[in-house]
Amino acid sequence: MIGQRGVGKTYLSFRLAQSCGMKSVFVLREWEDGHCTEHVLDVQQTLQALDAGESHHFELQTIGIGMSETMAQRALLFDSVGLSEESAFSSEMRSGMVKTQKLLITSDSICHVIDATSLNEQGLSPIDKKINLLAHARKVPYVLVVAKVDLLTARRKRRLEGMLRHEKIFFTSAKWNRGLGALKHFIEKENRENYAYSFLSRGGSI
């Protein structure tokens, strides 16, 4: 999960866990001061805390999600620090953004989350354009996740669909639990294919 700050990556990650029927998830958090902590988080309680506006100060959290009963392994979602064009950040925040950029280079697939209300007639913002170009250059599965679609009119949504027609897009609303089925299917499919490739490369057979 990559995108700018405040677009709802964490909320979306836990909504995905909920849509997979998970009551709790294992989370590894890397904090701004450099230490790591392990957690088992109740999905519903975490969503309620996010609804209430609870902020967080970790650089990266890795969330293990069991996508379905047939999955050979869990998908690992990397909920990264939001990128920003602003420069007046602490050294810890800049460190987090460096980790985010490294994930962009190493991840098996990329879900690029953008805020539906931030899009204008020029399309993606400069930083989202950079993410988009880097993701396509890597030639890994890439989707544009347009979050907070519940805040759009039907006319505006159609306009955005036309504007972004060359991209694979999922329109989602984590608040109202909309559009997550297609996104879940994408992640599940890519995770299954990555597992099969890894298994075969180790000398296994299917």
pLDDT digits (tens, 9 = 90+) for 1-56: 888 888 999 999 999 999 888 899 999 888 767 788 899 999 999 999 988 887 76
Amino acid at 115: D
Phi, then psi, of 4 in degrees rounded to 5: -75, 170
Say how many CA atoms lie within 13 Å of 128 toward its Cβ. 23
Within-domain flag for 206: no
Report the CATH number at residue 121.
3.40.50.300
Within-domain flag for 157: yes
Within-domain flag for 61: yes
CB 46 within 8 A of CB 14: yes
Q: What is the pTM of this model?
A: 0.82
Within-domain flag for 50: yes
Give tens-digit pLDDT for 151-192: 999 999 999 999 999 999 999 999 899 999 999 988 888 877
Within-domain flag for 13: yes
Within-domain flag for 25: yes
Domain count, the chain: 1
